[in-house]
Chains A and B, each alone.
Chain A
Amino acid sequence: MSGEPIRTDIVIVGAGPVGLFAVFEAGLLGLQCHLVDNLDRPGGQCAELYPDKPIYDIPAIPVCTGQELVDRLLQQIRPFEPTFHLRQMAEKLEWLEEERLWRLTTSAGTVFESPVVVIAAGAGCFVPRRLPVPEAERFEGRSLFYAVRRRADFAGRRILIAGGGDSALDWLLTLEPEAAEIALVHRRNEFRAAPDSVEKMRRLVEAGRVKLIIGQITGLEGEDGELRAVRIRTKEGEIEHPCERLLAFYGLKMELGPIAEWGLELHENRIVVDTEAFETNRPGIFAIGDICWYPGKLKLILSGFHEGALMAQKAFRYCRPDEKLVFRYTTSSTELHKRLGVA
């Protein structure tokens, strides 16, 4: 169900800090960018893993949090009007010989055609951590889920939710009224979800509407993908909790994912690039930030910014082969001032 392809100059895979700043460097050269990210908001690891943790090594910013850095970058790139395509993973990459363009297709069916693709995917895409018991695979997508795609899968069922964060408690509270029975299993009797949700959960436990189990899941019981019970190790020993649906929230992990199939030269799960333009072995495909590798590479945000600036110079030659690129500073160039919207 792919729509009309979106034609643009650069498609950036990954909307973390390095992907965002690449929009700026490309924008100064008059190049238009679209960004694809599997998360539901821009910022990558900065926003997802450490929004509140301080960062001290961004030049000229003595200290800022992960989220502040993302917010500042979003503000900085606003004049270039990048388009975000969130909650979708870049899946397929093909070279169109006739058009001399790359065609990139996402998991949501969005199709892009562009002379340049920039991979700024950090450690890969964030995917939910799976329940690490061998039999999990038999139940996944049928009675074991890591996200709620269809509420109807859960209505009228005996549900067990695993986890102690916001996702676990939010879904517990949402599904409680429509579940036949609902229980929460967590490693300890403390929850890092929002205090308000924890309070609501505690009240439901007191009212006997939610069963709280302190322990860890050790195995699953059932046939043909249908859960019958979940084995849980508690302080009092192993118990079998009868249920039909398990919704497990063990956080997110990062995987290289489909990018590994794009025919790019890899070095220990990272993409090999040259240090002149941060281009891969496939012309027009660049890799910047934590995901690229070259001798001496450091996984620093500031290195990713530099890589984006050099990438943009060469990307310009693919996007505007007939134009001459003149190197200009933002301090003095009226042309750049116009692009920045300050002229």
Chain B
Amino acid sequence: MSIKVYVTDREGVLHELEAEPGWTLMEVIREAGLPIEAACGGCCACATCHVYVDLEWFAKLPEPSEDENAMLDEAFEVRETSRLACQIRLGPSLSGIRVTLAPEF
């Protein structure tokens, strides 16, 4: 069963993407060719896959780890619903998740 992911890019365009269970949100966005730098390749060592998660979905995510929080410290325009896309592992319960790419810097 594929998982649906809705991503709004920095121009405000909405993209409907499909993911396989077990992919991370960063991987889906990167594989779709959307502009997400993901410099460290997903090992939670940078903040270049920063996204804002829609509030209703944000509440369903497990708490960010201390590592993720420490990396978010280096991001800009961090909000209450900020997460690193590489740390969000997708499963059927997250099908339909909506996120927005944070500004690049």
Contact = CB atoms under 8 A, between A and B. Distances in A.
Partners in one complex: yes
A196 interface: no
Interface of A: 45, 49-50, 53, 123, 129-132, 163-165, 186-188, 190, 192, 216, 250-251, 253-254, 299
A192 B73 contact: yes
B40 A49 contact: yes
Interface in B59-94: 66, 69-70, 72-74, 76-78
Nearest to A250: B74
B96 interface: no
Given A132-B77, A250-B76, 4 more contacts: A50-B45, A164-B73, A165-B73, A186-B73
Contacts of A163: 73-74
A132 B103 contact: yes
Contacts of B46: 49, 251, 253
A282 B39 CA distance: 28
B47 interface: yes
Contacts of A123: 39
Contacts of B73: 163-165, 186-188, 192
Nearest 9 pairs between A and B by C-beta?
A251-B74, A132-B105, A49-B45, A192-B70, A50-B45, A164-B73, A132-B76, A250-B74, A53-B43
B41 interface: yes
A258 B42 CA distance: 27
Contacts of A164: 70, 73
A45 B45 CA distance: 10
A15 to B, nearest CB: 18
Nearest to B104: A132
A216 B78 contact: yes
27 contacts: A45-B40, A49-B43, A50-B43, A53-B43, A129-B74, A130-B105, A131-B76, A132-B77, A132-B105, A163-B73, A163-B74, A164-B70, A164-B73, A165-B74, A186-B73, A187-B72, A187-B73, A190-B69, A192-B66, A192-B70, A192-B73, A216-B78, A250-B76, A253-B39, A253-B46, A253-B48, A299-B41
A299 B42 CA distance: 13
A237 to B, nearest CB: 15
A192 B40 CA distance: 19
Contacts of A251: 46-47, 74
A165 B75 CA distance: 13
A162 to B, nearest CB: 10
Contacts of B76: 131-132, 216, 250
A99 B40 CA distance: 40
A297 B98 CA distance: 32
